[in-house]
Amino acid sequence: MEVMRAAAEREALGDPVYHLEVGQPGSTAPKGVIQAAKDALDNHRLGYTVALGIPELRAAIADHYAREYGVSVPQDRIVVTTGSSGGFLLSFLAAFDQGDKVALVAPGYPCYRHILTALGIKPVIIETTKEDRYQPSPALLEKAQAEHGKIDGLIVASPSNPTGTMLSKEDMAALAEYCGQSGIRLISDEIYQGISYGRGFETVLSHADHAVVVNSFSKYFSMTGWRLGWLVLPEDLLRPVECLAQNLFISPPTLSQVAAVAAFDCREELESNVARYAANRDLLLRELPQSGFGDLAPSDGAFYLYADVGHMTNDSLSFCSRILKETGAAVTPGLDFDEARGHRTMRFSFSGTTEEIAAAAAALKDWRP
Ligand SMILES: Cc1ncc(COP(=O)(O)O)c(C=O)c1O
Q: Is the CB of 84 under 6 A from ligand 1?
A: yes
Q: Quickly state the pLDDT bin for 199 (edges 50, 70, 90).
A: confident
What is the rounded CA–CA span in Å between residue 166 and residue 196?
A: 9
pLDDT of residue 352: 94
The alpha carbon of 237 and the centre of ligand 1 are apart by a number of angstroms equal to 22
Q: Is the CB of 83 under 6 A from ligand 1?
A: yes
pLDDT of residue 2: 82
The alpha carbon of 221 and the centre of ligand 1 are apart by a number of angstroms equal to 13
Q: Quickly state the pLDDT bin for 201 (edges 50, 70, 90).
A: confident
The alpha carbon of 77 and the centre of ligand 1 are apart by a number of angstroms equal to 21
Q: Is the CB of 232 under 6 A from ligand 1?
A: no
The total number of residues written for the chain in this structure? 369
The alpha carbon of 109 and the centre of ligand 1 are apart by a number of angstroms equal to 8
CB 51 within 8 A of CB 249: yes
Q: Please state which of the four CATH numbers 2.70.70.10, 3.30.70.1380, 3.40.640.10, 3.30.420.40 is assigned to the domain occupying 33-263.
A: 3.40.640.10
Q: Is the CB of 23 under 6 A from ligand 1?
A: yes
What whole-number percentage of the chain has pLDDT above 70? 100
Q: Is the CB of 191 under 6 A from ligand 1?
A: yes
pLDDT of residue 4: 84
Q: Is the CB of 327 under 6 A from ligand 1?
A: no
pLDDT of residue 301: 97
Report which protein residue has its CA nearest ligand 1's atom 13. 23
- Mean confidence (pLDDT) of the chain: 96
Q: Is the CB of 109 under 6 A from ligand 1?
A: yes
The alpha carbon of 146 and the centre of ligand 1 are apart by a number of angstroms equal to 31
Report which protein residue has its CA nearest ligand 1's atom 14. 23
pLDDT, tens digit, 9 for 90 and up, residues 221-265: 999 999 999 999 999 999 999 999 999 999 999 999 999 999 999
pLDDT exceeds 80 at position 115: yes
Report which protein residue has its CA nearest ligand 1's atom 7. 84
Q: Quickly state the pLDDT bin for 22 (edges 50, 70, 90).
A: confident
Query: Under the phi-then-psi rule, with left for phi > 0, alpha for psi from -120 to 50, and beta for the rest, what region is 222?
Result: left
Mean pLDDT, residues 52-79 taken together: 97
Mean pLDDT, residues 152-172 taken together: 96
Q: Quickly state the pLDDT bin for 202 (edges 50, 70, 90).
A: confident
The alpha carbon of 229 and the centre of ligand 1 are apart by a number of angstroms equal to 9
pLDDT of residue 117: 98
Residues of each domain in the chain carrying CATH 3.90.1150.10: 2-29+267-365
pLDDT of residue 172: 95
The alpha carbon of 85 and the centre of ligand 1 are apart by a number of angstroms equal to 6
The structural architecture, per CATH, of the domain 2-29+267-365 is Alpha-Beta Complex (3.90)
Which of 91, 156, 192, 216, when mutated, tests ligand 1's pocket best, judged by the most ligand atoms within 8 Å of its CB? 216
Report which protein residue has its CA nearest ligand 1's atom 16. 161
pLDDT exceeds 80 at position 11: yes
pLDDT, tens digit, 9 for 90 and up, residues 180-193: 999 999 999 999 99
How far the first Cα of the chain sits from its last, in Å, is: 23
Ligand 1 nearest-atom number relative to CA 86: 9
Ligand 1 nearest-atom number relative to CA 82: 9
Residues of each domain in the chain carrying CATH 3.40.640.10: 33-263
Q: Quickly state the pLDDT bin for 3 (edges 50, 70, 90).
A: confident
CB 193 within 8 A of CB 214: no
